Each structure stands twice: as structure tokens, then as C-alpha cells.
Amino acid sequence: MLSKRSQTIVSIGRSFATAVSTPSARRKLPADGLSFGDFASGDVLPVSERVILGNTSQPRLPSFLKHPIPSGKSYTEIKKDLRGLGLHTVCEEAKCPNIGDCWGGDKGQATATIMLMGDQCTRGCRFCSVKTSRLPPPLDVHEPENTAEAISRWGLGYIVLTSVDRDDLIDGGANHIAQTISKIKQKAPSILVEALTPDFAGKGAEAVHLVATSGLDVFAHNVETVERCTPFVRDRRAGFQQSLTVLEEAKKAARAANKEILTKTSIMLGVGEEADEIMETLRRLRASDVDVVTFGQYMRPTKRHMKVDRYVLPEEFAKWKDVAEGMGFLYVASGPLVRSSYKAGEFFIENVLKKRRARAQVEEGAMGDRATV
């Protein structure tokens, strides 16, 4: 049996629940706020007039950006393999929306983007959810071998490597990345390797050259956004022109070493860019001889990160794909869920590279035949 005091509290609670769940006569909020008597009488503001704290300017996530929870046998096996060898992936660290699609593919199609040099970055870009640290732990000397071992087990034709920025290292981690690529090629000579690299700021062109001539097939480095937005989106140590120079130096180094590589970059939309700025960015990328460009929607990883300026419609992504292709890019991937390492693009690039290899082998064979005549 409830006491009179308990019955009163229950009655107040019921009155409040009724008031916020059903329409009632609207009235202005008193300057000194609601009194206990207001709540006791049930005369409170309806839900529509309640003050909502937090960021109300953030646009709502549209349905075309929602994705299923990752699962499946292949997803589980890749995750187990990575944990067993102590490896990290950007798929997890950056909360990529495509993780279920990429990890959950069929045998020979499932792929993961390995993140080298740990899971702590010395940069603090405002869009990225990877952990930051001024002094991350030392490099794992076994990582190149362990990475090559994991990749050789998966039986893939194409693999993507990326890394955190390591401004604390003398070479920015260039030698570590180059070693990893070399180990992969030793264990699986036919595999195609894409490396999404840092900018190696302040480490000199030698760091870029070392990675570009290590045996990789695609040298990727992301400009991320248009030049005007760069200071607000990326870490202060990054720069738009600096990123263009990295892509230019990679292509230059490969040619000097008589190696044929593709260069690739990625642009996020929805961070405040304007159409004319995107056009100018594409022009400068082509002038830097970049082969592949991808467009994707910026999605806020947590409330601590910068807000989404707008959600770009699929039709606009399709437009930028047409524009970029018309400018001469070898391949363009453009869509709300496209990321710089996205398997649909990898399949296309894989075919392009395989055709180039086959053509080179035919040409070498023809030269050999002429030499013996």
C-alpha cells in the first residue's frame, strides 16, 4: 500500500508523462522558469516547444548514407587474422562505412586496408577519428613481415596499405612502408600494391622517392579538400600545394627509376567547398599528372569532430564523375559512400595495371626476339 507522499509522486509523474506525450494548450515559458506547481498540475510545455541542447544545425543523415552492420564469415576471418598478428586497419580506426562490404566479400574479393606504423597519428585533422599523439610508441619491427604474412594468406590480387603520420620519425616512416611493400612482393610477387602515404612533411623528397620506387603499383596521397578549406579541415602541418608536390615527386621518381606507377588522390565533399573550387582542384590535379581521383561524402565520426556542412546528393556525385572523366583522369570513383580505398575502384585499377603488365611483357618479348635475329 503506497503512502500518501508516494501516491502524490506517482500522480505527478503520470501528469508529466501525459503532458509531454499529448498536445496541450501552448503558453510561453515564464522568464523565471517552470515551478514545481506547473509540473504537479501537468501544465508544461509540449515536446515541440522543449529546448533541445546540443548541435541543432547538423543536417540529418539521409537514407542513402545508412549501411548494414558488418557480418559474415569472411569479415570474421579477416578480423581474427588481423588481431592474431597485431595489425591495425584504417577500416576500423577511421570508422569506414564500407567495412562490411569490403571485409565481407567472397574469397578473392574481400579486402582490408592495413594501417601501418601503429594506431596513433602525430597529426590531428578535424575530420579523422584516428587517435592522435605527439609521441606514439616505437615502430613494430615485425610489422612488415606480419603484414606480408597476413596478405599472403588472403589470396588477393590487390591490397591497400595506409599509415598514420609519424612526424616524430627522421624519415616520417618512409623506410618502414618501403620495407613492408618489399616483403609483400617477396611473398606474393603477382599481388598489386597500393600505398596511401603521409606527406612526409619536412623529410625531403627522398622519403617520397623511397616509397615510390619500392615496388608498389599505385602511389596514393589525399589532398582531402579544396585549398581554401584545407586549414580548417586538415592539420596545420598539412598543405594543399604540399600534397600536390608529393604526388608530383612520386611520379617523377618512378619514371627516373624506369618504373610505371599510377598516382591517386581523394576529395571529401560536404565540408564547405564551392563548385568552382572543386573544378580548380581537378585542374591542378591533372596538371600534376594524377591518374585516379575519388569523391566521397564527409561523415562526422563523433561530435568532437567538425560538422558536416551539407550532405551531397548522389546526382551531384555523378556529375563530378562525368566532369573528372572528361578532364582525362584514368579512373574516377564518385559517390556518397566512396572512400579513397574502395574495392570497386580497386577492381578497375587492378585490371588496368594487369593490362599494362601484359603489354610490357609482350614488348620485352618482342625486343628479345629482335635481339636474337
Please count the other Cβ atoms lying within 10 Å of the Cβ belonging to residue 226.
24
CA distances to 26, 293, 301, 351 from 114, in Å: 57, 20, 19, 21
- In angstroms, the CA 215 to CA 356 distance is 15
191 — phi, psi (to 5°)? Answer: -70, 145
Axis crossing angle, helix 275-287 with helix 314-326, rounded to the nearest 10:
30
Are the beta carbons of 136 and 324 closer than 8 angstroms? no
Identity of the residue numbered 228: R
Signed CA dihedral, 139, 142, 148, 152: sign only = negative
Which DSSP helix (H) or strand (E) runs through 115? strand 113-116
Are the beta carbons of 172 and 139 closer than 8 angstroms? no
192 — phi, psi (to 5°)? Answer: -95, 135
Strand 292-297 versus strand 262-269 pairing type: parallel
- In angstroms, the CA 302 to CA 307 distance is 9
Q: What is the distance between the terminal CA atoms of the chain, rounded to a whole angstrom?
A: 109
Query: What's the grid cell of residue 327?
Result: 578532364
Please check if 229 is assigned to a binding site. Answer: no
Known binding positions: 91, 96, 102, 121, 125, 128, 341
Known binding positions for [4Fe-4S] cluster: 91, 96, 102, 121, 125, 128, 341
